[in-house]
Amino acid sequence: MGSNKDDINLTPLLNKLGHDLEEIRVRSLLNILSKLEHGVVCEADLVQQRPLLIRLLEWFNFHSCPLQEEVLGLLHRLAQHSSAVEILVSLGAVAFLSQLRKDVPTELQPITDKILNQLLMLPPSGPEEHSRECIYQHRITKFTSPLLTESAIPAMQEDTDPKQLTAASDSLMSQQNSSLTSQTGQHPGQLLYMEPKVGYFRRDSGSTATLIANLEQEQEEQGVATAGLPAPTCLKFSTFPWLALTPTDRHVLAATNRSLNSGNPQLVTSSCEFLSNVVFYDFPAETFLQRPAIVKTLVSLLKVTADGGHNPSQGAVLCLRNLCVHLQTRLAFYQDPALYCPRQDYLSQASSTVSTEMSSPTPQSDSQLSALEETPDRPRGDGRDRNTPSSTSSTSRSLTASSVRSAVTDPMEELEPEDMLALQFSQLSLPQFCTTLLTNGMALLKSHDPAAVTQVLDLLQKAAWLMEEALTPQVWEDQSTVAAELVEELIEALDNTGEVLHFHNLQSRGPRTPDNEITHHRMVYMALAVLTTHLLQAFVPLEKAADILPESLASALALLAMDPSFQTTRPAAHEAVVAYVEQTSEDDYQLYSHALHVCTSMDCSVQFIKEQNFEGGRSLQDMVELAEGALSSLPYHQHLALVSQFIRLCSDMCKPVHANPQLVQDCTRVLLKFLAHPEEKVRHTAYQTCLNIVKEVLGISRAAETASQSCRSVLFLVDPHVLYQLCCFGLAENKTKVGEMAAELLLYLLQGRLIMTAAIWNKLMDALLPVLPVLQGYASVETKLGRCVVGLLHPSSEGEVGRLPKLERLRGGLRLLMSRESSMREEAAAMVSQYLALESGGAQLLPKDAEQAILKAQDILIVRQQQQQPNRENQSSIFQPEDVLKLWDLYTSPTVEGVVRRSAAQQFTTILADKLMHETFRRQGGVDVTVNYLKQAIQGDNQELERRNLVPPCLCILRLLVQEDPSLRHALMQEMSLYLTVLRCALQSSYDDRTCTEAAGLLTLLLFDEVASIQTW
Q: Which residue has the higher pLDDT, 876 or 879?
A: 879
Structural domain including 917 reads 881-1016
Is 666 among the domain residues?
Answer: yes
Kindly give, in sequence order, each residue whose CB lies less than 8 Å from that of residue 922, ignoring residues fewer than 6 positions away: 961, 965, 968
Phi, psi of 49 (to 5 degrees): -85, 90
Q: Does one domain contain both 306 and 356?
A: yes
Question: Which of these ranges, 182-186, 473-477, 677-681, 850-854, has the smallest mean pLDDT?
Answer: 182-186
Could you write out the three-class secondary structure of 56-119?
A: HHHHHHCCCCCCHHHHHHHHHHHCCCHHHHHHHHHCCHHHHHHHHCCCCCHHHHHHHHHHHHHH
Residue-wise pLDDT tens digits, 999-1010: 999 999 999 999
User: How many other CB atoms are there within 10 angstroms of residue 346's CB atom?
Assistant: 19
pLDDT for the residue 408: 35
Q: Which residue has the higher pLDDT, 171 or 753?
A: 753
Q: Does one domain contain both 292 and 396?
A: yes
Residue-wise pLDDT tens digits, 754-768: 889 899 999 999 999
Q: Round to whole Å and give the CA distance between 424 and 420.
A: 6
pLDDT for the residue 301: 95
Is 824 among the domain residues?
Answer: no
Is 862 among the domain residues?
Answer: no
> How far is CA 741 from its chain centroid?
46
Over the chain, what is the mean pLDDT? Answer: 82
Residue-wise pLDDT tens digits, 782-807: 999 999 999 999 887 555 557 899 99
Question: Which of these ranges, 5-19, 667-681, 702-716, has the smallest mean pLDDT?
Answer: 5-19
Question: To which H or E segment does residue 192 belong?
Answer: strand 192-193
Looking at residue 193, what DSSP letter applies? E
> How far is CA 781 from its chain centroid?
60
Answer yes or no: is pLDDT of 179 > 50.
no
Residue at which a domain ends, from 105, 120, 135: 120
Is 853 among the domain residues?
Answer: no
pLDDT for the residue 431: 97
Is 923 among the domain residues?
Answer: yes
Rounded (5°) CA angle 307-312-314 = 115
Question: To which H or E segment does residue 565 belong?
Answer: helix 564-569
Answer yes or no: is pLDDT of 197 > 90.
no
DSSP string for 143-191: ---HHHH---SPPPPTT--HHHHHHHHHHHHHHHHHT-EE-TTS-TT-P
Kindly give, in sequence order, each residue whose CB lies less than 8 Å from that of residue 370, ignoring residues fewer than 6 positions away: none
CA 221 to each of CA 218, 225, 380, 398, 430: distance values in angstroms, whole numbers, following the listed order: 5, 12, 37, 51, 33
Could you write out the three-class secondary structure of 652-705?
A: HHHCCCCCCHHHHHHHHHHHHHHHCCCCHHHHHHHHHHHHHHHHHHHCHHHCCC
Q: Does one domain contain both 470 and 359?
A: no
Count of CA atoms in the C-beta half-sphere (13 A) of 598: 13
Helix (H, G, I), strand (E, B) or coil at 936: helix
* Cα–Cα nearest to 317, from 281, 286, 284, 273: 273
Q: Does one domain contain both 766 and 724?
A: yes
Q: Which residues pair with 182 in a beta bridge?
A: 192
Is 590 among the domain residues?
Answer: no
Dihedral Cα 598, 599, 604, 610, nearest 10 deg: 130
Q: Which residue has the higher pLDDT, 92 or 125?
A: 92
Answer yes or no: is pLDDT of 392 > 50.
no
Residue 606, classified by CB atoms within 10 Å of its CB into exposed (0-12), middle (13-18) or buried (19+), is middle
pLDDT for the residue 349: 42
DSSP string for 350-369: GGGGHHHHHTS---SHHHHH
Q: Does one domain contain both 67 and 24?
A: yes
Q: Does one domain contain both 952 and 894?
A: yes
Q: Does one domain contain both 933 and 998?
A: yes
pLDDT for the residue 419: 74
Q: Does one domain contain both 350 and 450?
A: no
Q: Does one domain contain both 535 and 392?
A: no
